[in-house]
A and B are shown apart, each in its own frame.
Chain A
Amino acid sequence: MTEPVFSSALQTLMEEFSRSGVRELHVRSGDFEVYLSSDPAGSRSIAAAPAAAALRPAPAPVPVPVQARTSPTEVSQSAPPAASALPDDAIIVRAPNLGTFYRAPKPGAANYVEVGSTVSVGDEVCLIEVMKLFTAVRADASGKIYAVLATDGAMVEAGQPLFALVRN
């Protein structure tokens, strides 16, 4: 996960950026690189994303409908398998915070993991984006991806299950 100090410096940078009216900002220093864009159709991206906090142009927002007041239950998040279908020993990787769930490091790239992929502790499995700040989520156990429990590009809530792992 991102270091808090680093993350707050980035937040400050983004605040200044959104206030400045500048459309694009690209900073490179050593192996650290940041790209900020206020263009919703932004097409540029950083070739090699830094591990902890990668920034990339925002994809088009995914509208999530609100249910009618007559059915006050929670909106079901996505199609993926119900928790009951998971093996008893499945390990759930959860969203550390609310944000948009991305399975790939950038648009068009291969997903970090697929069903059947083997992951080790610390491997990046997806990105969570909040206001253009991308945070990598890492596996906290080793095993094989059994199921993907959230929809790529959709908003996930804090603590929402993202992946189910089973031990090798």
Chain B
Amino acid sequence: MAIKRLFIANRGEIALRIVRAAQALNIETVLAVSDPDRDSAAARLADRKIVIGPASAAKSYLAPRLIVHAAKESGCDGLHPGYGFLSERAILPTLCQAHGIAFVGPEPDVIDALGDKLRARAMAGAAGVPLVPGSDCVASAADARREGDRIGYPVLLKASAGGGGRGMVIANNADEAEAGFHRASAEAVAAFGDGTLFMERFVPEARHVEVQLMGDGKGNVLHFGERDCSVQRRYQKLVEEAPCAAMPDHLRKQLHESAVALAASVNYRNAGTCEFLFDVKRQEFYFIEVNARIQVEHPVSEMISGFDLVQEQIRVAGGADLSVTQDQVKLSGHAIECRINAEDVTRDFLPSPGRITRWQPPEGDGIRLDSHMAQGAMIPPFYDSMVGKLIVHGSDRADAIKRLSAALDEFVVEGVPTTIDLHREIVAHPDFIENRIHTRWLEQVLLPERAKRAA
């Protein structure tokens, strides 16, 4: 049954994006808002808004019962969770199912399975997706040497009970592997009371690549190409682009096939992303995880495919078949997205909410801005500090960079500090222009250079 009235359990730019997508499909919209969000752009555009709770997300956007209660009482037959908040918590689709509401997302058991790292890894392995070469338990220094030789250096010795970097040692050769075993095992005993270790290949300069997927829940899965999201700080993506220009075509094909095979193996329904680590030196990629939701950076895939992923996930949730075949998905040109946050880069990216006193976004061919902001709008201090996503599309990567650089120069935001300046520096950096970046490039190269200049 096609969805007729959609409940949107999110805020910010993605809530606005979903309201617009639903309206394009002639679906009525009911938006959940917390008290400080009652005048948001999405709230003004939605057919109805319902104040579900106070500012605290725990009592509003993170309260599944309030959300499903409001959806049911407002007569909604579909619910879109957006990203973040409850989007990957099985309780939400479970409650929706119990009340006859179509959830725009996977089945609860698929969410649970993909959310569990070990189960997801096992599923990926079973679907033939490459995993980071690694070992089972390593019991002695001699074992560590043997396994290190087999896996190939550098390797990471990790406590199997571990987390947070404790009990983790990098070894660049067999001697270091032996010495590292003693050190990591002792650390692991001290930290976790369990000295059991395992080993994994360490990729010092990796790229983060991910495949955009769309499944119908009946075993059919499409891909919309890959994205390269290697500009990161503390595992948070700042810049995303599509395609991954550093990846040769034969690998790209394998990457897409792997992602599709994994999603098809669980009859995946919804938009989703399969994330990989790309070892450029070895020309290999390894599975990281699946994100079972629409992602922040979905617009770059939309720009190169001309396909609306949010509309499609709503249609599919209503039981529709996929509206295109893989042959009909044509990817062209190059797209880059900058996530613009209200953060003070000079103060260690301190989130800086407040009122926007001037808002002058760039305009022009190939420019898209996904934002809920405007002059006079307030960024409340209770949630994330994203003010918008600037996306450009060009004929190739160089053209996209040229357009992005012009668009960033035009973009004026006053009232709160933003990361626009930092994005200008990233886009102008020779390493970025020549595509010599990796997931630690921002933290190891650009930010230290910037700090040195400021000193």
Contact = CB atoms under 8 A, between A and B. Distances in A.
10 contacts: A61-B72, A61-B73, A67-B47, A69-B23, A98-B50, A98-B66, A130-B66, A157-B52, A158-B53, A159-B54
A148 interface: no
A114 B191 CA distance: 62
B68 interface: yes
A127 interface: no
A129 B70 CA distance: 11
Contacts of A159: 35, 51, 54
B74 interface: yes
B75 A66 contact: yes
Interface string B29-68: 0100011000000001111111111100001100001101
Interface stretch (B91-99, B126-134, B369-377): B91-99
Nearest to B48: A66
A62 interface: yes
Given A97-B54, A98-B70, A99-B69, 10 more contacts: A18-B94, A66-B5, A66-B74, A97-B66, A98-B51, A98-B66, A131-B69, A155-B70, A157-B52, A159-B51
B44 A158 contact: no
B224 to A, nearest CB: 30
A37 B345 CA distance: 53
B95 A131 contact: yes
A67 B47 CA distance: 7
Contacts of B284: none
B47 to A, nearest CB: 5
Contacts of B45: 72
Interface of B: 5, 23, 28, 30, 34-35, 44-54, 59-60, 65-66, 68-70, 72-75, 91, 94-95, 98
Contacts of A160: 51
A89 interface: no
B69 A130 contact: yes
Given A72-B47, A99-B69, A64 B75 contact: yes
Nearest to A100: B73
B65 A158 contact: no
A75 B411 CA distance: 37
A63 B52 contact: no
B75 A63 contact: yes
Contacts of A98: 50-53, 66, 69-70
A58 B69 CA distance: 12
Contacts of B44: 72
Contacts of B48: 66-67, 74-75
A100 B50 CA distance: 13
A131 B70 CA distance: 10
A133 interface: yes
A15 interface: yes
Contacts of A133: 65
A158 B54 contact: yes
A124 B445 CA distance: 62
Interface in A54-94: 61-69, 72, 74-75
Nearest 6 A/B pairs, CB to CB? A157-B51, A155-B73, A131-B65, A98-B52, A158-B53, A158-B51
Choose among B47, B59, B98 the residue with the greatest number of A CB atoms under 10 Å from its CB. B47
A100 B75 contact: no
Contacts of A65: 75
A97 B63 CA distance: 11
Contacts of A99: 66, 69
Contacts of A62: 73
